[in-house]
Amino acid sequence: MHYGSLSTKAGVAGISALVALPATWLTGCSIGGDMIAGMDTEVETAPPHAQSTAPLPGVGNSSSKSNALNVTPRQRSYLDGLHEAGVAPSSDLSALSIGSYVCQARAAQQTDEAVWDFVVPLVRDDISDADGSDGVRAETPSADDLHSATADYIRIATDRLC
């Protein structure tokens, strides 16, 4: 095959057509110059990070305008138990989430060590967030504080929530 021969030029033209046609389809252009209608320029943006537009979970009155977290008596007992033990969760929802993990692990018959290993990071994040109430993340909790809070979360969830 010689460079510049008719078969080479025909091959290059064929390859060019194979590349140009899909590119035309992907860009929305056609041979007639028409364009496929694009997206509307007014696009609704998502809410800022950590701000949800969804209502909080719980047993509540759907006609109520309150954003308060509605909890069951068992959940209230668990939350009260945490406060009585001196545990200060970052929020009731966070505390209920940790308690739920404990109950799920107990229901799955996980060992105490497995429950502990899973719950420790959750508690560490929660008590760090609770200490940083001014919006600035607080220092990492001490090992003693973390151990005590984790033990309280697991004990109280097992006794009152599960």
| Backbone CA torsion sign across 38, 44, 48, 50 | negative
Residue whose entry in the numeric block shows the structure tokens 């030029």: 9
d(CA 159, CA 103): 10
Among 125, 123, 81, smallest CA distance to 102 is for 123
d(CA 51, CA 7): 63
Indicate whether 136 pLDDT > 60: no
Q: What rounded mean pLDDT belongs to the chain? A: 74
Please state the rounded mean pLDDT for residues 95-113. 95
Indicate whether 83 pLDDT > 90: yes
Which pLDDT does position 138 carry in this prediction?
Answer: 56
Break the chain into its structural domains and give their ranges.
1-35, 73-161
Tokens of 143: 């090992």
Q: Is the pTM of this model over 0.75?
A: no
Label residue 129 by pLDDT band (50, 70, 90): confident
Please state the rounded mean pLDDT for residues 151-160. 96
